[in-house]
Amino acid sequence: MPHVMISSKKCTGCHMCELGCSAWHEGGFQPSRARLFADVNPTTAVIKGHSCLQTGCAKCQEACPNDAIVAREITVTPSGTFASKEKVGDSVTGIVLVVDEEKCNNCGDCYDVCPYGVIHEHPERKVAFKCDLCDGDPQCIAFCQNQYVLAVDLKVDKADRALTAKA
Amino acid sequence: MDFYKGHVLKIDMSTGTAEVEPLNMEWARLYVGGKGLMLRYLWDLTEPGMDPWSPENPLIVAPGPFAGTNVSTCSRVVLGGKSPANGTILDSYCGGSFGSVLKFAGYDLIIVQGCAAELTAVLIKDDKVSFVPAAKYAGMLTADIEAALRADFDPHMTSLSIGPAGEHKLPWACVSNDQYHKAGRGGTGALMGSKNLKAIAVAGTGRVTVGDARAFLEDIERIDTDYILTDSNYWVHEEGTPVLVDVTDGAGCQPTRNYSSGTFKGAGNINSEAFKKIRVKKRACYQCTLACRNFHRINDIEGEGPEYETIALCGSNVGVDDIAALMQFNHLCDEYGLDTISTGNVLGLAMDMTEKGIHDFGLHFGDIEAYLKIPEQLALRTGVGAELAMGSRALAAKYGHPELGMQVKGLEAPGYDPRGSFGMSIAYATSDRGACHMRSFPIGVEIVEGTMPADTLDESKAEFNVTFQNHYAFKFCGVWCDFWAIDYEQMGMLMKHLWKREVTEEEMTQVGERVWNLGRLFNLREGYSKADDVIPEAWLEKPFSDGVSAGKIIGTARFNEVLGQYYALRGWDEDGVPTEAKLTELGIDVRL
Ligand code: SF4
Ligand code: SF4
Ligand code: SF4
């Protein structure tokens, strides 16, 4: 199932992915509200990428007492290039986990279980917010665009732990 | 408001207080941001003849309007004031992430004045500003102070900090951000040290708006593909600045053994090929897609750099071609907080004087053992460092050989000897902060592209320097990085988002010219004059005996003639003073 992932080895620490992600969703550049992030140690150059594995993880969905994390079908067609493009192809259809803001009551159970720290309370809307694959054009891929770096990749795994019935 | 946050943070170190003032939008329109805006504030905040070491001398930190967006390379900030190194304008640039994060915290500019009674760190978390005693950070090296601030206050904080060199007010102490990014030249670190300011740390959670964000993203994606990630910019990523070693060495303008030659036998040991062998990773500043930076590892030393200037000044200029020693020296300068250009100059000068029998500093070209002790000695002013800390101009004068100090207006020279690139002579002489390659860079046309001859000096070179200086003065208001060879057309595409209308090349050139003239006025106000628009005699009259530039000579008379042409092209009088007509034309509202 499609998800984006940062290669910690390739990542240069430019944070363009966070900038693109936040501007697309929030109407302005605000990395504190990005849905993925690169944790960079400036001195040692050690970088750890954090992003949502979608149905390959789905812990938020399991934890949610209100069934607010719902599975939706999505076709991902990145406008930018990415490392595994040859393998994955131009377009991938699968499931993305999104927050149903009507059902979410900001109880915070998912914030505690996310192993990557990429689902949080939205400071204004007071509901959970997470990666939604940008309606199929991931901005993090679009802006990790140095062709010699291409650290944000589109991955497709077979695991599908999403409780699709809850969709 | 889009792009700008509209806020200036004014910090008074003497009282330990901070207040927020609205950004002067008229100045933002005339000077855009970065260098220009900093200079306009500097003019206003200072009295003529102010002692640069006095508490009144402001440290101004200014990102450009595009900081905090995804316009590549614009995370950079300028650190400004009146230079403690030489009393000219001080505008020193630093990559990293400070500029972007400052915008997220909500500010377009920081102005620090006054002096704290004890060593202090200033913490900015969005709209909260606090002053914390920094006694426990005293003497800390760059990596340690940054890590300590993150651990003690906020894991996301990024800081401008000084090392021991800044605390000891070494005139060329630098300021660090994210460990490897330095506001190197002109003594920004000394300025912080003189205020008892160890660090300014910032964390910001706010937003920078640009109007229609999705339309903006689409446009930037196109600009990045069409104009940044191009084949002609590829060297930035593939090589980075070490590629210049072969360029300058091949052209006979690589400073070697205190500028006594333009060619270095050991160049092949410290060029880009050599550094690629020890490269571990490519890295980037915040919001930069070019990723020029090289992370190296050799033996137990690892880190970013050295960049070309360090390789030239702390390598060939001091006779060192041992890559491991050079890595270590660079690392020590980074950690102690020293500008490597000035360090390599002073060291080369001391070695030269020792070998010429003028004075025995116990330093010899290529003597690695003594060399590796220098950064600490300079920073702490111990041993031979106590004397070398006076800088090239004073040191050379003290021992009766001013001609051996390679400096202009008291600022030590960077890694390009004008004898291999004649246009650099005018670039250095007219630079607003002393010997500097970042105001105009004839090396590009005279050596890299070969579209102008390297061994002639005439009016076309005067004109080239004027055009380049205006271009770069504007570029440094937007605070684009040098490594994006951005032209007016591309800057116009971005300015259109800022000013919400078409912006012409003429308008942008005029901003650049306005900034350049304001800088000139500041220097004149502070006592500089035509008599200071000079360069070391050796560059004009003493030809090299080896390399491709051997035997070539610029000549003082020729130089003076072209300098006069430069003044005329600038609309300045014979003494290099901007005329009333010029100032009016440019809309400059201050006068001498
Ligand atoms: S855009 Fe790419 S290189 Fe930059 S921080 Fe994100 S993953 Fe790393
Ligand atoms: S795919 Fe979109 S929402 Fe998900 S992390 Fe990338 S930019 Fe953010
Ligand atoms: S090109 Fe290099 S120095 Fe310039 S902004 Fe990018 S990473 Fe920083």
For each of the domains in chain A, give its residue range(s) and CATH number, in order of start: 2-156 (3.30.70.20)
pLDDT digits (tens, 9 = 90+) for A59-81: 999 999 999 999 999 999 999 89
d(Cα A5, Cα A25) in Å, to the nearest integer?
A: 18
CB B552 within 8 A of CB B545: no
CB B240 near ligand 3, within 6 Å: no
Name the stretches of chain B with pLDDT < 50.
none
Least CB–CB distance from A146: residue in B69, B209, B237: B237
B226 Cα to the center of ligand 1, angstroms = 19
Q: Is the pLDDT of residue A166 over 60?
A: no
B215 in any annotated domain: no
Confidence of residue A167 (pLDDT cuts 50, 70, 90): very low
3-state DSSP call for residue B10? strand
Q: Most B CBs within 10 Å: which of A29, A124, A140, A152, as the mutation test of the B interface?
A: A29
Confidence of residue A161 (pLDDT cuts 50, 70, 90): low
CB B434 within 8 A of CB B407: yes
Concatenate the DSSP letters of all residues of chain A into one string: -EEEEE-TTT--S--HHHHHHHHHHHSSB-GGG-SSEEEE-TTT--EEEE---GGGT-HHHHH-TT--EEEEEEEE--SS--TTHHHH-S-EEEEEEEE-TTT-----HHHHH-TTS--EE-TTT-SEE---GGGG--HHHHH---TTT--EEEEE-S-----GGG-
B488 in the same domain as B389: no
CB contact under 8 A, B217 and A142: yes
B225 in any annotated domain: no
Taking the C-alpha atoms of A18, A20, A21 and A26 in order, what is their torsion angle to the nearest 10 degrees? 110
Q: Specify the number of domains making up chain B.
A: 3
- Name the A residues in 64-93 with CB < 8 Å from any B CB: 79-80
CB B228 within 8 A of CB B219: no
- pLDDT given at position A165: 41
Q: Which residues of A touch B293 (CB under 8 A)?
A: 12
B493 in the same domain as B378: no
CATH number at residue B13: 3.60.9.10
B296 in the same domain as B177: no
B198 in the same domain as B269: no
B557 in the same domain as B454: yes
B424 in the same domain as B400: no
Least CB–CB distance from A12: residue in B69, B97, B284: B284
Both tokens assigned to B370: 């003594």
CB contact under 8 A, A28 and B70: no
B476 in any annotated domain: yes
B294 strand-pairing partners: B282
CB A49 near ligand 2, within 6 Å: no
B459 in the same domain as B388: no
Predicted interface score ipTM higher than 0.90:
yes
Q: Percentages helix, strand, coil for chain B, rounded to the nearest 5?
A: 45, 15, 40
Q: Whose CA is nearest to atom 3 of ligand 1?
A: A11
Closest chain A residue to B292, measured at CA: A12
A8 touches chain B (CB under 8 A): no
B560 in the same domain as B443: yes
B295 touches chain A (CB under 8 A): yes
CB B58 within 8 A of CB B78: no
CB B229 near ligand 3, within 6 Å: no
Q: Which residues of B touch A28 (CB under 8 A)?
A: 207-210, 213
CATH number at residue B363: 1.10.569.10
3-state DSSP call for residue B121? strand
B411 in any annotated domain: no
User: What is the number of the ligand closest to the CA of A98?
Assistant: 2
User: Looking at B405, B428, B449, which one is the last position of a domain?
Assistant: B405
- Name the B residues in 185-244 with CB < 8 Å from any A CB: 204-210, 213-214, 216-217, 220-221, 224-225, 229, 234, 237-238
B97 in any annotated domain: yes
Nearest to B134 by CA among B111, B156, B152, B155: B152
B550 in the same domain as B475: yes
DSSP B97: S
Least CB–CB distance from A12: residue in B70, B221, B283: B283
Name residues whose C-beta falls within 8 Å of residue B389's C-beta, 6 or more positions apart in sequence: B170, B171, B378, B381
- Region at B263 (left for phi over 0; alpha for psi -120 to 50; beta for the rest): beta
CB contact under 8 A, B291 and A24: no
CB B210 within 8 A of CB B162: no
CB contact under 8 A, B213 and A28: yes
Over pLDDT 70: what percentage of chain A? 95
Closest chain B residue to A31, measured at CA: B205
The number of residues making up chain A comes to: 167
B167 in the same domain as B135: yes
d(Cα A96, Cα B425) in Å, to the nearest integer?
A: 61
CATH number at residue B478: 1.10.599.10
User: Looking at B383, B405, B427, which one is the last position of a domain?
Assistant: B405
Concatenate the DSSP letters of all residues of B317-344 into one string: GGT---HHHHHHHHHHHHHHTB-HHHHH
Least CB–CB distance from A15: residue in B180, B286, B290: B286
B423 in the same domain as B399: no
- Distance set, CA A48 to CA A7, A37, A51, B301, B387 (Å): 8, 8, 10, 22, 45
Q: Most A CBs within 10 Å: which of B3, B70, B230, as the mutation test of the A interface?
A: B70
- pLDDT given at position A117: 96
B454 in the same domain as B563: yes
- pLDDT given at position B233: 87
Name residues whose C-beta falls within 8 Å of residue A9's C-beta, 6 or more positions apart in sequence: none
A141 touches chain B (CB under 8 A): no
Q: Is the dihedral of CA A86, A92, A95, A101 positive or negative?
A: positive
Q: Which residues of A touch B206 (CB under 8 A)?
A: 30, 32
Domain carrying residue B266: 239-405
